Chains A and B, each alone.
Chain A
Amino acid sequence: ELQLVQSGAEVKKPGESLKISCKVSGDSFTNYWIAWVRQMPGKGLEWMGIIYPRDSDTRYSPSFSGQVTISADKSISTAYLQWSSLKASDTAMYYCARLISVGGLDIWGQGTMVIVSS
């Protein structure tokens, strides 16, 4: 059974960098697109972007292009979401999820809470 296990919660200061992870187990990591989704406190879901680990083809939502970097390491079946300079407005829960061919996100990680505060 496919599982997505995300890294633990993070508390960072504005301006710091951060890389969070999403480890995939139970199925071939390179057969599916992996999506990242943001949920700010008390708010709805936002599509950030997707990556195809087989060739690292990455597609960003316009709102997040240039703000974050999505990457993957096939050798350890792990996808990443990273920031070079965090802002307070990056405080949110971040989910990774598997994107199936007909467009839905069928398996989700447990989420990684990121808090950015001075």
Chain B
Amino acid sequence: EILLTQSPATLSLSPGERATLSCRASQSVSGYLAWYQQKPGQAPRLLIYDTSIRATGIPARFSGSGSGTDFTLTISSLEPEDFAVYYCQQRDNWAGTFGQGTKVEIK
């Protein structure tokens, strides 16, 4: 089972700032790396799939990159609605795992 480690656990930033979230895998991921946003009391929302493709309706300020074992979600300029918890997720041979999450909070 591939383990995903996200860092940092918490990111304290102000609106307008750039957010960089990291996701490191215990072994190489095939490319099926996705990112989700979750707000309190809501189901997760898919932001990015296949490492770098934005899901339908996701603003261009969200971008994903990486390969192998190191992946990054970047939010270029934080909007008030972006403060939430973010998870990475991989699927390797139909066995999926999630990272433990990064909370992006208002500084």
Listed in ascending order, the chain A residues whose CB lies under 8 Å from chain B are 33, 35, 37, 44-47, 50, 59, 61-62, 95, 97, 99-100, 102-106, 108-111
Question: When the two chains form their complex, are residues B49 and A50 in contact, meaning their CB atoms are under 8 A apart?
Answer: no
The verdict on A44 contacting B55 (CB below 8 Å), with A104-B89, A111-B43 known, is: no
* In the complex, chain A residues whose CB is within 8 Å of the CB of B32: 102-104
Query: What number of A-B contacts does a CB cutoff of 8 Å give?
Result: 76
Cα A33 to Cα B95 in complex, Å, equals 12
Q: Is the interface of B mostly helix, strand, loop or mixed?
A: strand
Known A102-B49, A102-B53, A105-B46; 6 more pairs at CB < 8 Å: A45-B87, A59-B95, A104-B48, A104-B49, A104-B55, A105-B34
- Chain B's closest residue to A108 (CB) is B43
The 3 A-B pairs at the shortest CB distance, nearest first, are namely A103-B32, A104-B49, A104-B34
A selection of 23 A-B contacts at a CB cut-off of 8 Å is A37-B44, A37-B98, A44-B99, A45-B87, A45-B101, A46-B98, A59-B94, A61-B1, A95-B43, A97-B43, A97-B44, A100-B49, A102-B32, A102-B53, A103-B33, A103-B50, A103-B90, A103-B91, A104-B48, A105-B34, A105-B36, A105-B44, A109-B43
Q: Does B7 contact A (CB under 8 A)?
A: no
